Copies of this chain bind each other. A is one copy, B any other.
Amino acid sequence: MKALKEKILKEGVAIGTEIVKVDHFLNHRLDVKFLEEIGEEFKKRFEGEEINKILTVEASGIAVACLAAPYFDYAPVVFAKKAAPNTMTEGFYVAEAKSFTKGTVSLLRVSERFLEKDDKVLIIDDFLAHGQASLALADLVGQAGGEVVGVGAVIEKGFQGGSERLRAKGYKVESLAVIDQIIDGRIIFK
Q: Does A76 count as interface, using CB distance less than 8 angstroms?
A: yes
Q: Does A69 count as interface, using CB distance less than 8 angstroms?
A: yes
| Complex contacts, A66 vs chain B, CB 8 Å | 30, 32, 35, 62-63, 66-67
Question: How far does the alpha carbon of A66 sit from the alpha carbon of B162 in the complex, in Å?
Answer: 28
Complex interface: stretch among A83-91, A163-171, A175-183: A83-91
Minimum Cβ distance to chain B for residue A46 (Å): 17
Complex interface: stretch among A21-29, A138-146, A150-158: A21-29
Q: Does A186 count as interface, using CB distance less than 8 angstroms?
A: no
Do B23 and A76 touch (CB < 8 A)? no
Q: Does A188 count as interface, using CB distance less than 8 angstroms?
A: no
| Complex contacts, A33 vs chain B, CB 8 Å | 70, 74
Question: How far does the alpha carbon of A78 sit from the alpha carbon of B30 in the complex, in Å?
Answer: 6
Do B15 and A89 touch (CB < 8 A)? yes
Q: Does A19 count as interface, using CB distance less than 8 angstroms?
A: yes
Q: Which residue of B lies closest to A86 (CB)?
A: B102
| Complex contacts, A65 vs chain B, CB 8 Å | 30
Question: How far does the alpha carbon of A113 sit from the alpha carbon of B77 in the complex, in Å?
Answer: 30
Q: Which residue of B lies closest to A75 (CB)?
A: B32
Q: Does A79 count as interface, using CB distance less than 8 angstroms?
A: yes
Minimum Cβ distance to chain B for residue A114 (Å): 5
Q: Does A111 count as interface, using CB distance less than 8 angstroms?
A: yes
Q: Does A58 count as interface, using CB distance less than 8 angstroms?
A: yes
Interface residues of A (CB under 8 A from B): 15, 19, 21, 23-24, 27-33, 35-36, 58-59, 62-63, 65-67, 69-70, 74, 76-79, 81, 85-89, 101-103, 110-111, 113-114
